[in-house]
């Protein structure tokens, strides 16, 4: 399970401890984990509600990079 998680996170360029509890992660990493989870389940659509509200400029850029990758995998983003 952890190896699969690492593969998906690495594919999105997310560097985080796969053994950490989600509640211990930063808001940005929580969002990244949620997107990775959707990708691992072969989601066709990802709906986000104000995904940049609590993020720094650096984290916003990283988020949009992940969104672009998801679009490449034909995931609809709303």
Residue 37 confidence (pLDDT): 84
**CA 57/CA 49 separation, integer angstroms:** 18
Tens place of pLDDT per residue across the chain (78 aa): 788 888 888 877 788 888 889 899 888 888 888 888 877 888 888 888 888 888 889 888 988 888 888 888 788 888
pLDDT at 77: 86
**pTM metric for this prediction:** 0.71
Identify the pLDDT of residue 40: 82
The residue extents of the domains of the chain are 2-77
Phi then psi for residue 56, to 5 deg, are -75, 165
Query: Alpha helices of 12-56 — where are they, by DSSP H?
Result: 27-40
């Amino acid at each position: 399970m952890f190896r699969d998680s690492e593969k998906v996170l690495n594919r999105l360029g997310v560097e985080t401890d796969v053994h950490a509890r989600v509640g211990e992660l930063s808001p940005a990493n929580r969002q990244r984990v949620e997107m990775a989870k959707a990708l691992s389940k072969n989601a066709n659509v990802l709906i986000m509600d104000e995904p940049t509200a609590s993020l720094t400029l650096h984290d916003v850029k990283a988020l949009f990079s992940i969104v672009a990758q998801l679009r490449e995998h034909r995931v609809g983003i709303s």
